[in-house]
Structure 1
Amino acid sequence: MGFILKFLLTAVITYVLAAFLPGSHIGGFGDAILLVLVLAVLNAVLKPILKLLGLPITILTLGLFLLVINAAIVMIADALLSGFAVDGFLYALLFSVVLSVVTSIIDAVVD
């Protein structure tokens, strides 16, 4: 039950963020659900590979390169989904940071 609640809350958060943040656009709530699914798969499959490849840069930047990896994941999701769009790298970075912060707050409240 907790997984479904977190999934739906993340979809709602994604929909609201795309509606209010500049530079991010989403077609509807169904597209938000698809975006959450695609982000989950990309974070599970691609993110560990990118973290491993970017480990030297991550160490040199004291972990700030992980923000770039998160933004890249959002931009890949933008390329895969027709109902979601970000206008550029900085908007993808803003979207990923705000989504991460709000999702972590929701996870703390739900758990």
Structure 2
Amino acid sequence: MSRTNLSAMKFSSVYPLYVQKAERKNRSKDEVDQIIRWLTGYSQSELQRQIEEETDFEGFFGQAPRLHPKSSLIKGVVCGVRVEEIEDPLVQKIRYLDKLVDELAKRKAMEKILR
């Protein structure tokens, strides 16, 4: 998927898919929210506001208080691409989030997911 397609996608349309993926593996919405807050620095109320305002991914990450300093430790493959090798900063942030949700769905311990 190209940067244009990813950046224009609404975070609010993808968020329920993250929650569904986690819940299918007996993980919770709260854990998904914790991962998102860890990565972006949003508070729970700020995260909820981003969802309600139907912010696209570009705005979601652009308005994030801060990307977690340990986000560069996120490694692995998402959609056949190594996240640490993605050159576009926005696409890399989106894939970081995808990777963290994947790890949650694979029943990895939160302490390991949040590095």
- In the superposition, the TM-score normalised over structure 2's length comes to 0.36
- In the superposition, the TM-score normalised over structure 1's length comes to 0.37
